[in-house]
Amino acid sequence: MPEDFEDLPSTLQRSPESARKTYAEAKESAEETYGKGERASRTAYSALKHTHEKVGDHWEQKEEKGPSDSRARSGGQDPGGSSAGGVDANASKEHLYEKAQQLDIEGRSDMTKDELVDALQKESDRETRRARGD
């Protein structure tokens, strides 16, 4: 892998090799095109979100490849839409419910699909902050 493990974002350090490899390869390619910096990192995360989803403080392989939210779907240099922070907002409500169950999110049984996405994103952000010691 072109990037050192310690140089990876902390959520990727806690993730399976497939997520680390996807991010690192996409970032290396983006740096060749755009140079080092934020644009290369955003491009790498976009590639990662097509194959993995954020669950808690790490990334897990998605059941089906594809964009994770309306922002990832629009793509390009100036994407539109909104980001779900790595949560696969395009997944079925059943899948989102299972992830909410995995993270022990209270009230999940009564939530709409959009509410599940929001709750998963908030819980993932909380777990990431907790894992980082923030």
Instruction: Find the Cα–Cα–Cα–Cα dihedral 7, 11, 16, 17, rounded to 10°.
Output: -20
Q: Report how far residue 31's alpha carbon sits from residue 129's, in angstroms, rounded to the nearest whole number.
A: 27
Residue 1, pLDDT score:
41
Give the mean model confidence (pLDDT) for residues 17-41: 94
- What pTM does this model have? 0.75
Number of Cβ within 10 Å of residue 112's Cβ equals 10
Q: How confident is the model at residue 64 (pLDDT cuts 50, 70, 90)?
A: confident
Collapsing DSSP states into helix, strand and coil, what is residue 53? strand
Q: Report how far residue 91's alpha carbon sits from residue 73's, in angstroms, rounded to the nearest whole number.
A: 13
Collapsing DSSP states into helix, strand and coil, what is residue 15? coil
For residue range 82-119, what is the model confidence (pLDDT) as tens digits?
778 889 998 999 999 999 999 999 999 999 999 999 99
Residues 61, 51 contacting (CB under 8 angstroms): yes
